[in-house]
């Protein structure tokens, strides 16, 4: 697998879900086509754009201009940045604002932002008037390759990540890669963890390509569009086969059982971005797989080295302030993992590795083995 030598034309990835099929449009500058695409998709529609304060500073005006030039009426709803908005209070704020804007069942909600905004706006759309369609305009790398695709929406509970939500597919995804230029290096790295995940779980050749080309992805070269499109194709293929995560789609949660527990342990704060939690979680999943004799130590080390090479955290001790707050004990993490959405009748489910590029769903993992493993890792 090789990267294109120059920026290609816009790339369209199809998410095949029968009559609910939709396109992911990927490319530099595609945001300016949003208005025309929305007007063609839903003539006469009204829209409400949900975004956060940081994204609004950079991209709300271009978004509204594109819609206005296409004759599409707009309302705006701006929330605070970060996981703190993915709460009951945040959902109430967005839902009441949508009702006040008189968004009806044949109108569109537009989620302009990263994963938090996409999850929050999508969930509000799912429950508003028993279901209003929405468009995803992801502005972070993580959202472009993961959370904007596949229809998972929701908010956090104080007891765990994404425990309240709904499957609600968008009708269109506009992934403008130029908006990623405004991300901080840390935000971009966090999103890259989800890109690497697709290679680790199902495509060893893609993982090898990432090892060779990650610098071009970070610098904004043509490899960036290629990596995003490859990631979106991988997720779209899985979602089209298992939309509601009854089987294969669970593989996309590689690193998430450990990662979500770490996010909860740090209070869903900016001390640990979601992608950073996934990075640590992927390394833990690889090392646990090696301890169980499923993969070689060399493969587990390869995963850890690549994530570390781009500056991502790879060990529990890398999580800021983790030990100092008394959260660095195996029992506390096990209690948090017990709230994971993949738990069935109290039994833990993990996504483990048989090789780089071959992940498997492991049901009924013995909790004592996980606890002993975590104790080892916490001891350094």
Residue 341's pLDDT is what? 60
Q: Is 347 annotated as a binding residue?
A: no
Residue 220's pLDDT is what? 92
Phi, psi for 131 (deg, rounded to 5) = 130, 110
Residues marked active site are found at 130, 152, 194, 235, 245, 249, 253, 256, 260, 274
Contact 151, 118 (CB under 8 A): no
Q: Is 197 annotated as a binding residue?
A: no
Residue 324's pLDDT is what? 59
What ranges do the domains of the chain cover?
A: 11-181, 185-378
Contact 120, 91 (CB under 8 A): yes
Distance CA 218, CA 206 (A): 16
Bridge pairing between strands 172-176 and 358-365: unpaired
Query: What are the Cα distances from residue 312, in Å, to 71, 137, 272?
Result: 43, 25, 11
Residue 264's pLDDT is what? 86
Residue 153's pLDDT is what? 98
Tokens found for residue 312: 């991502």
Residue 364's pLDDT is what? 78
Fold observed for domain 11-181: Rossmann fold (3.40.50)
Contact 160, 336 (CB under 8 A): yes
Residue 4's pLDDT is what? 52
Q: Which residue from 83, 20, 79, 139 is spatially nearest to 274, judged by alpha carbons?
A: 83
Q: Is 239 annotated as a binding residue?
A: no
Q: Does domain 185-378 fall into CATH 1.20.1090.10?
A: yes
SS (H, E, C) the chain: CCCCCCCCCCEEEEECCHHHCEEEEEECCHHHHHHHHHHHHCCCCCEEEEEEHHHHHHHHHHHHHHHHHCCCCEEEEEECCCHHHCCHHHHHHHHHHHHHCCCCCCCEEEEEECHHHHHHHHHHHHHHHHCCEEEEEECCHHHHHHHCCCCEEEEEECCEEEEEEEECCCCEEEEEHHHHHHCCHHHHHHHHHHHHHHHHHHCHHHHHHHHHHHHHHHHCCHHHHHHHHHHHHHHHHHHHHCCCCCCHHHHHHCCHHHHHHHHHHCCCCCCCCHHHHHHHHHHHHHHHHHHCCCCCHHHHHHHHHHHHHCCCCCCHHHCCCCHHHCCCCHHHHHHHHCCCCCCECCEEEEEEEEECCEEEEEEEECHHHHHHHHHHHHCC
Q: Is 152 annotated as a binding residue?
A: yes
Residue 48's pLDDT is what? 98
Q: Is 263 annotated as a binding residue?
A: no
Instruction: Report how far Cα 185 is from the mean position of its chain's Cα atoms.
Output: 17
Residue 337's pLDDT is what? 87
Q: Is 115 annotated as a binding residue?
A: yes
Mean pLDDT in consecutive groups of 10 residues from the start of the chain, 380 residues: 60 96 97 98 97 98 98 98 94 98 97 97 98 98 95 92 95 97 96 98 98 96 95 96 92 94 87 95 98 97 98 93 68 85 72 97 89 90
Residue 10's pLDDT is what? 93
Residue 363's pLDDT is what? 87
Q: Is 256 annotated as a binding residue?
A: yes
**Cα–Cα–Cα angle for 308, 314, 317, rounded to 5 degrees:** 130
């Amino acid at each position: 697998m090789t990267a294109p030598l120059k920026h290609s034309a816009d790339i369209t990835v199809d998410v095949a879900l029968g009559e609910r099929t939709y396109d992911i449009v990927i490319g530099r500058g595609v945001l300016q086509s949003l208005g025309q695409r929305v007007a063609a998709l839903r003539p006469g529609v009204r829209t409400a754009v949900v975004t956060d304060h940081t994204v609004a500073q950079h991209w709300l005006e271009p978004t509204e201009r594109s819609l206005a030039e296409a004759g599409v009426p707009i309302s705006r709803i701006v929330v605070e940045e970060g996981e703190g908005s993915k709460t009951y209070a945040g959902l109430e704020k967005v839902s009441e604002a949508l009702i006040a804007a008189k968004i009806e069942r044949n109108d569109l909600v537009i989620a302009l932002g990263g994963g938090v905004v996409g999850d929050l706006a999508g969930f509000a759309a799912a429950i508003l008037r028993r279901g209003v369609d929405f468009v995803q305009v992801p502005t972070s790398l993580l959202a472009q390759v993961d959370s904007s695709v596949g229809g998972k929406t929701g908010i956090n509970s104080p007891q765990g990540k994404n425990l309240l939500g709904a499957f609600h597919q968008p009708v269109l995804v506009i992934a403008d890669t130029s908006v990623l230029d405004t991300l901080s290096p840390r935000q971009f790295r966090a999103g890259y963890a989800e890109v690497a995940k697709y290679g680790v779980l199902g495509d060893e050749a893609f993982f090898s390509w990432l090892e060779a080309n990650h610098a071009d992805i970070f610098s904004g070269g043509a490899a960036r569009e290629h990596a995003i499109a490859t990631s979106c194709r991988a997720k779209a293929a899985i979602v089209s086969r298992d939309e509601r995560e009854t089987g294969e789609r669970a593989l996309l949660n590689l690193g998430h059982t450990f990662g979500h527990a770490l996010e909860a342990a740090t209070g869903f704060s900016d001390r640990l971005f979601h992608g950073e939690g996934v990075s640590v979680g992927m390394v833990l999943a690889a090392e646990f797989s090696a301890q169980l004799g499923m993969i070689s130590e060399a493969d587990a080390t390869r995963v850890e080295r690549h994530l570390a090479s781009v500056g991502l955290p790879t060990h529990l001790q890398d999580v800021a302030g983790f030990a100092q707050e008394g959260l660095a004990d195996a029992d506390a993490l096990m209690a948090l993992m017990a709230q994971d959405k993949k738990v069935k009748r109290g039994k833990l489910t993990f996504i483990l590795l048989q090789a780089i590029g071959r992940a498997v769903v492991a049901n009924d993992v013995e909790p004592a083995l996980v606890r002993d493993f975590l104790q080892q890792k916490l001891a350094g």
